[in-house]
């Protein structure tokens, strides 16, 4: 490798291995130091004609012309193409390049994952992808993140809402023209059917310029019911996003994972979303949401609301939803919501203790202002396995509450991972925590993160760990980079 020289080496050696059907070459990443122009792409495609082993191709650092993208599309369309994962092109690919690639995507018999993050994608490219998704049965995972020009129009085009809206507008125009010309002028043509995704279940749209209007378009599409995972991180949905997401939850009856980090919902938007969860009971519950028994987030197991500017209103609504046994929620991320206080999270702990549905297994409260009341309440939450408290101002009172609850019989019975990094623990607080664990508290705990605390800067801290390590060799304590290996059982 020659540093500073980009694209100086071709693909001849790799093409030879592909043409020879080398069974060891199953994943290929074409680095920036390689050329990947039109002729190189053509060589790669020819070498894949009889290949049965290459399942992953990554060439995301290289610009592709529409013609080169079309060659890759032709490769995907070949009945015997073994490729399952593809990421190629850079931000210059644009709508024309995506459209050229999409023609092959629609005919694929093998591709399960397509990564088009940061490819300069807009509404026209999204419309081409929508047509491809209607016939691409194997394709279950599509990444479109970091395409800020996609926007609401692009999302609407992707899920078919745009074509429906255009048809409605055309129909309205025809009706108006007919009225001007007099009755009996004839009926308008039927609206074209919106494309329905054949296989897509996971959709990533982080940083795509989507607003609440785009979420509403997705909710109104028949494709919403097909989604199992949706990532919307970094889109400014705003307070109006709460209502739009509530509608989406009602329509997306199979949705299991929803990521909303940094979507600026605010406390009002968060409250609306949480209220929608309150209408969804666990599958074993008696409450039904219509003939299908779905909707309202019934299937949701993972909800990420980090950095959404949430507060007391959202927390109260979440507490009500969880206490009523809402849905199947197992993981909840509330990190970075600094307005969430100790009383708010303590109410959440009480709701979890009283919950009738499946247990919440993972909870991240990092960056909130929780303290002793929260720890006392959460200590009795059944089934809680992972708890994140990074950066929470626990101080002496919070640390004392944690140590005390650890020593109480039956508390933290299912806890496997605990992070108290950056929580202000001094030597006294850290010593009390480690002593409680050394006595056998939280018997299932295998991972404890304690970095960035004053105690860990003290020369005496390693001595505190000696007794714990001797008593519980299966418990890894992470307090400085590379210090501890993974837990090892005897």
Q: Tens digit of pLDDT for each residue in 388-437? A: 999 999 989 999 999 999 999 999 999 999 999 999 999 999 999 999 99
Residue 283 has pLDDT above 60, yes or no: no
CA 451-455-461 angle, 5° bins: 95
Residue 184: pLDDT over 50: no
| Angle made by CA atoms 485, 489, 490, in degrees to the nearest 5 | 125
Task: For the chain, give the percent of residues with pLDDT over 70.
Answer: 86
Q: How confident is the model at residue 160 (pLDDT cuts 50, 70, 90)?
A: confident
Confidence of residue 292 (pLDDT cuts 50, 70, 90): very low
Mean of the per-residue pLDDT values for the chain?
A: 89
pLDDT for residue 264 is more than 70 = yes
Q: Which residue has the higher pLDDT, 234 or 483?
A: 234
Flag whether pLDDT at 23 surpasses 60. Answer: yes
DSSP class of residue 294 equals: -
pLDDT at 482: 64
280/365: higher pLDDT: 365
Q: How far apart are CA 315 and CA 334, in angstroms?
A: 10
Q: Quick one: pLDDT band at residue 326, thresholds 50, 70, 90?
A: low
Asked whether 93 and 63 are in contact (CB, 8 A), the reply is: yes
% of the chain beyond a pLDDT of 90:
80
The pLDDT of residue 189 is: 53
DSSP percent split of the chain into helix, strand, coil, nearest 5: 40, 10, 50
Q: At what angle do helices 240-251 and 266-278 cross, to 10 degrees?
A: 20
Q: At what angle do helices 123-133 and 151-159 cross, to 10 degrees?
A: 20
Task: Say if residue 322's pLDDT is above 80.
Answer: yes
For range 370-379, the mean pLDDT: 97
Q: Which CATH superfamily is domain 1-171+197-210 in?
A: Ribonuclease Inhibitor (3.80.10.10)
């Amino acid at each position: 490798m020659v540093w500073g020289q980009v694209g100086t080496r071709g693909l001849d050696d790799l093409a030879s291995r592909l043409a020879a059907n080398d069974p060891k070459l199953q994943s290929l990443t074409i680095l920036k130091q390689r050329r990947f122009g039109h002729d190189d792409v053509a060589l790669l495609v020819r070498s894949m004609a009889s290949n049965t082993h290459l399942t992953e191709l990554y060439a995301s650092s290289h610009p592709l012309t529409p013609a080169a993208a079309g060659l890759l599309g032709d490769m995907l369309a070949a009945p015997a193409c073994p490729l399952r994962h593809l990421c190629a092109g850079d931000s210059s690919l644009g709508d024309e390049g995506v459209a050229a690639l999409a023609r092959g995507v629609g005919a694929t018999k093998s591709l399960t994952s397509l990564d088009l993050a940061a490819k300069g994608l807009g509404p026209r490219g999204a419309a081409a992808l929508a047509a491809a998704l209607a016939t691409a049965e194997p394709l279950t995972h599509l990444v479109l993140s970091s395409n800020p020009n996609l926007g609401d129009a692009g999302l609407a085009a992707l899920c078919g809402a745009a074509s429906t809206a255009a048809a409605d507008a055309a129909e309205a125009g025809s009706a108006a023209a007919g009225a001007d010309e007099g009755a009996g002028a004839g009926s308008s043509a039927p609206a074209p059917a919106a494309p329905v995704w054949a296989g897509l279940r996971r959709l990533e749209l982080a940083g795509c310029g989507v607003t609440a209007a785009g979420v509403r378009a997705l909710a109104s599409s028949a494709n919403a019911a097909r989604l199992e995972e949706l990532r919307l991180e970094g889109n400014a949905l705003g307070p109006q996003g709460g209502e739009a997401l509530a509608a989406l939850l009602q329509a997306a009856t199979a949705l299991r994972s929803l990521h909303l980090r940094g979507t600026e919902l605010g406390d009002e938007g968060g409250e609306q979303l949480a209220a929608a969860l309150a209408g969804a009971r666990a599958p074993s519950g008696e409450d039904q949401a219509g003939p299908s028994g779905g909707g309202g987030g019934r299937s949701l197991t993972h909800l990420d609301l980090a950095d959404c500017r949430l507060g007391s209103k959202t927390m109260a609504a979440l507490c009500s939803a969880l206490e009523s046994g809402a849905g199947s929620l197992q993981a909840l991320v509330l990190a970075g919501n600094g307005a969430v206080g100790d009383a708010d999270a303590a109410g959440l702990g009480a709701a979890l203790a009283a919950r009738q549905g499946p247990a919440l297994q993972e909870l991240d409260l990092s960056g909130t202002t929780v303290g002793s009341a929260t720890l006392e309440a959460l200590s009795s939450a059944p089934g809680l396995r992972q708890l994140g408290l990074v950066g929470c101002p626990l101080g002496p009172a919070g640390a004392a509450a944690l140590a005390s609850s650890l020593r109480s019989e039956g508390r933290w019975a299912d806890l496997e991972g605990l992070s108290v990094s950056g929580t202000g623990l001094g030597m006294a607080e850290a010593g009390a925590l480690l002593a409680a664990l050394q006595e056998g508290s939280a018997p299932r705990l295998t991972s404890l993160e304690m970095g960035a605390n004053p105690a860990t800067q003290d020369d005496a801290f390693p001595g505190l760990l000696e007794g714990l390590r001797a008593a519980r060799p299966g418990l890894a304590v992470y307090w400085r980079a590379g210090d501890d290996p993974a837990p090892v059982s005897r």
